[in-house]
Structure 1
Amino acid sequence: MTVRLTLISPATSEALRDVRFDDESPLDPAGTARAEAAAAAVPRTARSYTSPSLRCRQTARALGLRPEPVPALAGCDMGRWRGLTLDAVAAAEGEAVAAWLSDPSAAPHGGESLRDVRTRVGTWLDTLSTLPDEPGPLTAVAEPDVIRAALIHVLEAPDASFWRLDVRPLSAVHLTGRAHRWNLRPGSPLE
């Protein structure tokens, strides 16, 4: 059976605007309004999933979805950098940030490496692609880093490609998969 999965990135939050590692901040009012306005563009699917983060759950609700939170779709565990801006971390730990940005297996913050995120997300995708009874199309609202990891997995691209993918707020990417083989239809903004 072919699985059809639409991955949607969350609307804007204060953390996203501040270029801050997620700290469970809620959507900002503009993000909520944009998600509510885009709800009609979201396909109604048999099942929907979400990253466990507050902004993904709020985006999913604003889009009219009733998603199941999936731990495998959690954003990267940023350890002690959680809640800090990238600029603040770079000023305090420049070499650590450089290592994190250049080595997908590095986790100088004490959390997960980007390679670990790719493996976790890829395992979830491959499990989905082998379920014989998954009903109809699926939707998942997921953190931008989770969507990047999914795309790298689907394309079998090098881990270093992670930083080459730009996932904009409230954009959708469409995947189809069967038996560990995935195809990608590049995304577009929800309008």
Structure 2
Amino acid sequence: MTVRVTLISPASTAALRSARFEDASDLDARGLAAARAAAGALPATGRVLVSPSPRCRQTAQALGLGAPGEAPAGWAMGAWRGRTLDEVAAEQPDAVAGWLADPAAAPPGGESLAGLRDRVAGWLDTLADGGGRVLAVVEPELVRAAVVHALGGPATAFWRLDVPPLTATDLSGRAGRWNVRLGAGLGPDRGAGPDPV
């Protein structure tokens, strides 16, 4: 059975614009306007899932996605939450260097990259069991982890992926095999993506 998963990254926030680790901020005016403008441009689906952060919930609402179920939460950054990488690196250079180099390293009180990747992989595998179409508004780091998992890449490939606000990444798969279509805009001309082989 094939599952088609469209992962939508949330619209912009002040935290995203200033490159801060997620701090539960709301969409800014530009992000809200962009999400509203994209309403109706997504494929019809039986399942809609949304990460619990305000920016994901507000994006889903602005897109007119109805009553969603819950998608996984974003990356738990522990003591670094709400701060920029530059701020943390100035105070804890060794911790930041270790976190960037070692997928098993985690921010104080947070989740490692390996833990995030495993959590997202488990979620995707659960979605694949159900088949059909799924539309999920999720944090950019979940999109990145999903792509790394789908491609069978090393955890460090995560650092080489960019996910712009309010873009779609399509995954399709069956029997543990995934195809990926990256960064489609949320316009009326978006294609349905590749069929799995």
Structure 1 unaligned regions, length at least 5: none
| Structure 2 residue matching 1:129: 3-state secondary structure | helix
For residues 34 and 156 of structure 2, the distance between their equivalents in structure 1, rounded to whole angstroms, comes to: 32
Q: Which one is further off, 27-36 or 177-186?
A: 177-186
Say whether residues 1:143 and 2:144 are aligned partners.
no
Q: Which one is further off, 149-158 or 92-101?
A: 92-101
Could you list the structure 1 runs, at least 4 aligned residues long, displaced by more than 3 angstroms after superposition. Answer: none
Counterpart of 1:69 in structure 2 is 70
What's the offset of the Cα at 1:121? Answer: 0.5
Contact 2:79 2:107 in 1 (8 A): no
TM-score w.r.t. length of structure 2: 0.91
Q: Which one is further off, 156-165 or 95-104?
A: 95-104
1:123-151 CA-to-partner distances (Å, cap 9, x unmatched) read 011111122xx4x3110011010000000
For residues 178 and 111 of structure 1, the distance between their equivalents in structure 2, rounded to whole angstroms, comes to: 32
For residues 70 and 29 of structure 2, the distance between their equivalents in structure 1, rounded to whole angstroms, comes to: 23
How many residue pairs match? The answer is 186
Given the alignment, which residue of 143, 149, 158 partners 1:153? 149
Q: Which one is further off, 160-169 or 107-116?
A: 107-116
What's the offset of the Cα at 1:84? Answer: 1.1
Say whether residues 1:31 and 2:31 are aligned partners.
yes
Which amino acid is 2:28 matched to?
A: D
Kindly report the root-mean-square deviation, in angstroms, between the aligned alpha carbons of the 2 structures: 1.1
| Structure 2 residue matching 1:41: 3-state secondary structure | coil
Counterpart of 1:18 in structure 2 is 18
Say whether residues 1:7 and 2:3 are aligned partners.
no
For residues 24 and 18 of structure 2, the distance between their equivalents in structure 1, rounded to whole angstroms, comes to: 13
Counterpart of 1:102 in structure 2 is 101
Which amino acid is 2:91 matched to?
A: A
| Structure 1 residue matching 2:149: 3-state secondary structure | helix
| Structure 2 residue matching 1:110: 3-state secondary structure | coil
Which amino acid is 2:82 matched to?
A: G
| Structure 1 residue matching 2:40: 3-state secondary structure | helix
For residues 108 and 120 of structure 1, the distance between their equivalents in structure 2, rounded to whole angstroms, comes to: 17
Contact 1:12 1:30 in 2 (8 A): yes
Say whether residues 1:91 and 2:87 are aligned partners.
no
TM-score w.r.t. length of structure 1: 0.93
Seq. identity, %:
59
Counterpart of 2:78 in structure 1 is 79
For residues 183 and 2 of structure 2, the distance between their equivalents in structure 1, rounded to whole angstroms, comes to: 19
What's the offset of the Cα at 1:118? Answer: 0.6
Counterpart of 2:158 in structure 1 is 162
1:148-185 CA-to-partner distances (Å, cap 9, x unmatched) read 00000000000000010010001101111112221112
For residues 17 and 62 of structure 2, the distance between their equivalents in structure 1, rounded to whole angstroms, comes to: 19
Which amino acid is 1:38 matched to?
A: A
Contact 2:13 2:28 in 1 (8 A): yes
